[in-house]
Every structure is written in C-alpha cells, then in structure tokens.
Amino acid sequence: MAEFIRIDNLDRPELAIYSNQNEAQLRHYYEPEEGIFIAESPNVIARALDAGYEPISFLAEPSQAEGPAAEDIARCGDIPVYIGSNELLSKITGFKLARGALCAMRRRPLPDIEVLLQGAHRIVILEDIVNPTNVGALFRSAAALSMDAILLTPDCADPLYRRADRVSMGTVFQIPWTYFDSPWHVERRETEDDVEKRKAEESRLWIWPDQAMNFLHAHGFKTVAMALRNNSVDIDDKILRAEDRLAVVMGTEGEGLTPRTIEMCDYCVTIPMKNGVDSLNVAAAGAIAFWELGPRGRIRNDV
C-alpha cells in the first residue's frame, strides 16, 4: 500500500527528481542503467503503467490523489506518494496544473530495431525534430492512425520528456519506438578492449542516414521524404499506397530534411496547398501523411 506524505515545500532530497533536475539529468540518473522520466496527468500515468513501466514515487495535489489519480496510485504498490498544493506543484511545471499529478518512473531498455520492425508495414522516421511538443503530437497522430512504429535520429527530442509524453496523451507508451545509432556511439565502442565483441556490435549499428537507409531498404522498406522538390509526387499518388512496406520520413522544424536524406529516399512527397502557403507545421503535416500513407491508404489503393 502506498505511503502518503504531506509536503509544504520541495526541499526534501527525494523530491529533487521533480524539482531540481532537468530532463537530460533524469535520463542518465541511473547510468549505466536506464534513467528516469516524469509522467504527468492521470491518463498519461495510466498508459505508462499499462505498458509496464515501473513507478518510483508519486507527487499529486489532494484533489487528484483522492480523485482521478486514486486508481493509478492504487496500482503503484508501496511507493511514496507526496501530497502538495497545486501552487507547490506549479513551481515545478512553471504553470498551474489542470491535472495535478506527476509520477517518476524508471526507463526501460529500448527495443532492437530489427525486432521493432518485425511485421511492420508502415513506420515513421523523425529526423532531428527537437521540439518535444512536435514529437509528442507526431506520436499521438501515428498511434491514432495505426502506424506500426517510430524511429528517431539521435538529435530528436526524447519522447519521454515530460512535455512530449503529456502532449502525446500517453501514446508514447502505446506505439513501439527506438533511436538509430549515432556517430559518437561508434567512437565510444571503438575504444573497447574486446576487439571481437566490438566488431560484432558495430556490424549491427545503423547510423542515420546512410547505414540506416541501407538497412531499411534491405528489409524491403521504401522511404518517403516529406519535402518540397520539383520531382515530388502528390501524397495521394496510388504508387505510394501500393507499396507493401513504407517509411515516412519527417524533417526538423524550419529547415526540413537534410539534402542527403532526401537524396537517399525512394520518393519525395508533397502535400498540395493553396493561397501561397508552402509548408505546414511538422506535426500537422505528419497527421496528413499518416492518414494518406498509413493502413487506410493501402485499403484505398483500388479506388
């Protein structure tokens, strides 16, 4: 049974994970083991628990602990539950919480890319999207529109950042995802003494975009760059719906996809627009792309 602890300040050392450490510090909290993330709001917490994430502690205002978050707390076993006012919690989040409940949880190892792609036909690739709000919104759309998985380049915002998982409404816990490898990861592995082990590990690295694209193509995926180019095809082109395995590649805010990524993609796709508008926010463009190119698009192939 959970232990309820009333607090009137954030000075307790065990509350530092909520108030004194940024997202990057939490991510590496237990290094070399997996770190911590903060789930915010009862719905997000419930979906994290449903996905099997382990809770560490709870921080909630009284009305939440006794109301909407009570069921989540009951599922968490004998962890500490800190009870504070909404004003106190707002010092952590920077704004008044409409759903004043936070839960610190342990991260889990990310899935292997090959395992993640087994049986997948429609996936999303996010290249260097640094805004957690956009990452969260893209996860929500991808989950809602039945995309099978999401792969992220190393410089993307972490889907488990508090703002990202909140904006996603907890769908970051429902759709499989992982990161591609990064060059610094290779450099770190090259310093290992066990040469044979290092070579075996490096043979399974997929660095974006070259090795990663080659890996996707070798596994039967056609890649679709969402970008404005003269050779772009419309997003509702039947040739795209006919592809058995398709990866939709979305680029960073403002600059879009890198030239090398576009060059390596099989298709370049644009969303037709009017009134002199040449682009959409990446989250809005993603929702349209997932609707047209996802499973629904395949069903409409004969239309």
State the Cα–Cα distance between residues 75 and 42, nearest whole angstrom.
12
Q: Are 43 and 22 in contact (CB under 8 A)?
A: no
Neighbour count for residue 293 (Cβ, 10 Å): 27
Q: Distance between CA 298 and CA 277 in Å, rounded?
A: 28
Task: Render each residue's pLDDT in the chain as its tens digit; 303 residues.
Answer: 788 999 988 888 888 898 878 888 888 777 667 899 999 999 999 999 999 999 999 999 888 899 999 999 999 999 999 998 878 877 765 545 545 789 999 999 999 899 999 999 999 999 999 999 999 999 999 999 999 999 999 999 999 998 999 999 999 999 999 999 865 444 444 445 555 554 545 555 678 999 999 999 999 999 999 987 767 888 989 899 899 999 999 998 888 999 999 999 999 998 888 887 877 899 999 999 999 998 865 544 444
- The residues that bridge with 125 in the sheet, in sequence order, are 151, 249
What six digits make up the tokens of 280? 């959409």
Q: Sheet holding 55-60: strands in order across?
A: 3-6, 80-83, 55-60, 101-106, 36-40
**Cα end-to-end distance, the chain, whole Å:** 57
DSSP string, 14-48: GGHHHHT--HHHHHTTTTTS--EEEEESHHHHHHH
Continuous segment of H or E residues that includes residue 59: strand 55-60
